[in-house]
Structure 1
Amino acid sequence: MKRIPALLLAASLLAAAPATALAQATTDLSKVEGGHFTLDKSHAKVVFAITHFGFSTYYGAFPDLEGTLDFDPKAPAKSKLDVTINVKGLATANPKLDEHLNSPDFFDTAKFPTATFKTTKIEVTGATTGKITGDLTLHGVTKPVTLDASFHGGGSNPMTKAYVVGFDAKAQVKRSEFGVDKYVPYVGDEVELLISGEFDRAQ
């Protein structure tokens, strides 16, 4: 019976841990540290959504990313982002579909294994929001794309002690503009992108 209070105390400490971790991050740019950051691959992903014959929305992801961020919290518009996506590493939880998407019918990753995004302009739209415009190169085609970005905050990671900044972003692209037009319009042309990433400041 004496073990029960101890177990309750342990459970309460565990329940409090996420709040403690969240308290490390701040969105107050006057308190955020800048510098050169590298993308934390274990906490970054691009999710895509596309309509399937008008019956449903199909989801997949590009979980293998690399990138760098030069972040200036005093002048966010001067920041620079450079990301490389391993297109060949796409994941839909359907191995046969993954194989088909990698084929010449779609991404043709034997010829175009990666995609890149490099900023050309950043516009601050709010205390924690902005529009990040850059050149997206996919399937051998380069087009400008604008991301609607949200700043989650910066602070020290309580586990790794690294200084981290984190962002979410959304965008919409037409795959046909990049030469990926198989089955359009039956399988949607417009693709929604949901992006999330944490960046660790380089030591």
Structure 2
Amino acid sequence: MKRLLAAALISGSMMMAAPAFAAEVAYKLDSAHTETSFVIDRFGFNSVIGLFAKTEGTVWLDEAAPEKSRVEAVIAVDSLLTANTTRDEHLKSDRWLNAAKSPIITFKSTKVEKTGDATAKVTGDLTLMGVTQPAVLDVKLNKLGTAPNNQKKQAGFTITGQISRKAFGSANAAGMIGDAVDIRIEALGVAQ
């Protein structure tokens, strides 16, 4: 009986001493606090700044092994805003983003490379106007913790990158409207 009790105690203490294996946590993007913005040169005089107000998706964050993290996101093209309704309609038309034919922009990660304590390069497939191309985004984890307003675990990110619009089939006004499109996403994920 003493041997059985000793074995049980040793086994129990070994289980308690064993490290806990962290699993990935799914963070659903909060569309009210996630905005995808872009900047593109216009005639060399200035840049147009716009944003997509509707972004949805999920970040699966693995704190123990960040390189195993992944993300899938969908942006509604018709949520585009540039502070000018005429320009918004032009950009949503078949001449530019063709929202009627390609109503969403998608991103699905294929690789995460940790670059610092809170930074990573995320490579993925970006689909825009029906064309899929690889894209590399720089991701900074701003904060991971419990939100003071609702006590839910949240993760905040700043994401930046650049794409070539020509690579996605948009060559209108070449030489007048820039090819490089700078992207910035302020994203908030809520643990599920």
TM-score range, shorter chain: 0.7 to 0.9
For each residue in 1:44-90, what CA deviation from the matched residue of structure 2 results, as whole angstroms up to 9, or x when unmatched?
A: 11110011100011100011100011110100000110000001110
- The one-letter code sitting in structure 2 at the alignment partner of 1:57 is S
CA contact (8 A) 1:171 1:192 kept: yes
Q: Counterparts of 2:150 and 2:172 in 1: how far apart (Å)?
A: 44
Letter in 2 for 1:125: T
Alignment: residue pair count: 171
Where does residue 11 of structure 1 map in the other structure? Answer: none
Once the two structures are superposed, residues 107-152 of structure 1 have per-residue CA deviations (whole angstroms, 9 ceiling, x without a partner) of 1110000010000000001111110000000000000000011111
Structure 1: distance between partners of 2:111 and 2:175: 32
Please tell me whether residue 180 in structure 1 is matched to residue 170 in structure 2: yes
Query: Distance in 2 between the 1:144 and 1:104 partners?
Result: 23
Q: Once the 2 structures are TM-superposed, how far is the Cα of residue 34 of structure 1 from its aligned partner?
A: 4.9
Cα root mean square deviation, aligned: 1.3
Q: Which runs of 4+ in 1 moved over 6 A?
A: none
Equivalent position amino acid for 1:110 in 2: A
Secondary structure at 1:36 match in 2: strand
Please, what TM-score do these two structures have when normalized by structure 2?
0.87
Answer yes or no: is 1:149 the counterpart of 2:135.
no
| Structure 1 residue aligned with 2:190 | 200
Higher radius of gyration, 1 or 2: 2
Could you say what secondary structure the match of 1:182 adopts? coil
Q: Which residue of 2 aligns with 1:131?
A: 121
Give the corresponding residue for 1:109.
99
Conserved in 1, the CA contact under 8 Å of 2:24 and 2:69?
Answer: no
Aligned ranges 1:162-181 → 2 under 5 Å: 162-181=152-171
Map residues 85-96 of structure 1 onto 2, 5 A cutoff. Answer: 85-96=75-86
In percent, how many aligned pairs have the same letter? 39
Partners of 1:84 and 1:167 in 2: how far apart?
Answer: 16
- 1:10-25 to structure 2, matched below 5 A, reads none
Structure 2: runs of 5+ lacking an equivalent = 1-21
- Aligned equivalent of 2:44: 54
Q: Note the residue ranges of structure 1 that are not aligned, 5 or more in a row.
A: 1-31
Structure 2: how far apart are the matches of 1:52 and 1:33? 46
1:36-75 superposed matches below 5 A? 36-75=26-65
Q: Is the 8 A contact 1:33 1:154 kept in 2?
A: no
Secondary structure (helix, strand or coil) at the match of 2:81 reads coil
Check the 8 A contact 1:71/1:80 in 2, yes or no: yes
Give the residue type in structure 1 aligned to 2:95: D
